[in-house]
Amino acid sequence: MIAILDYGAGNLMSVVKAFRFLGSEPVVTSDPEVLAQASAAVLPGVGAFGNAMTRLKQSGLKQPVLDYIDSGRPFLGICVGLQLLFEESEEAPGVPGLGVLKGRICRIPEAPGLKIPHIGWNSLNISDRSGLFQGLEEHPYVYFVHSYYVKAADRSDVTATAEYGVTIDASVRHGNLYATQFHPEKSGRAGLQMLRNFINLIGKGES
């Protein structure tokens, strides 16, 4: 069972529809007990870092999410769901993230001709073709919606980057933990392949 976490700050239905299209039947839940029983979990996220972190705490899911990640089962963060995994964000000074991964979230710098938020399709430069990126072309296009991006402190965690006035750490992996700044559920065939790869991780014990 794939648990999609509902903490009031996620774009849930597009994620649910993508998994259903792939033949999976995910469960949308805010119940820590359901999460504890899941074979894999997804943390979506939209909106602002500070609000999302507050909602995650208020939902009672903060510690269960940390416990789940420690369990070694596949975990996927999407968009703000990626950002929450890091230590802090310029968007919400003084609000600590989950701190599972080292690094901080920075605002995309202003530049002539550059629209912020970054909305639309952009190509990836993939550095690790295991995990989510198996079977993908060399520079797949994926869909972004964001004004802030992660600067991972541990460069070995970064599995793909994108260019948008600055180099964006677009995807990270640390053991069983996967996360993307872009939206795989909105990224067409390439995104569906990533979600299929995530489903295929279940029961493999990859770390």
Active site residue 106: no
Active site residue 174: no
Task: Sort strands 167-174 and 141-146 into parallel, antiparallel or unpaired.
Answer: unpaired
Q: How far apart are CA 13 and CA 129, in angstroms?
A: 28
Q: How far apart are CA 190 and CA 50, in angstroms?
A: 30
Q: How far apart are CA 143 and CA 190, in angstroms?
A: 10
Q: How far apart are CA 162 and CA 199, in angstroms?
A: 24
Q: Which residues contact 192 (CB under 8 A, 6 or more apart)?
A: 18, 21, 22, 184
Catalytic residue among 79, 118, 146, 174: 79
Catalytic residue among 25, 146, 185, 206: 185
Q: How far apart are CA 185 and CA 21, in angstroms?
A: 10
Catalytic residue among 90, 174, 183, 206: 183
DSSP letter assigned to residue 202: T
Active site residue 206: no
As annotated, the active-site residues are 79, 183, 185
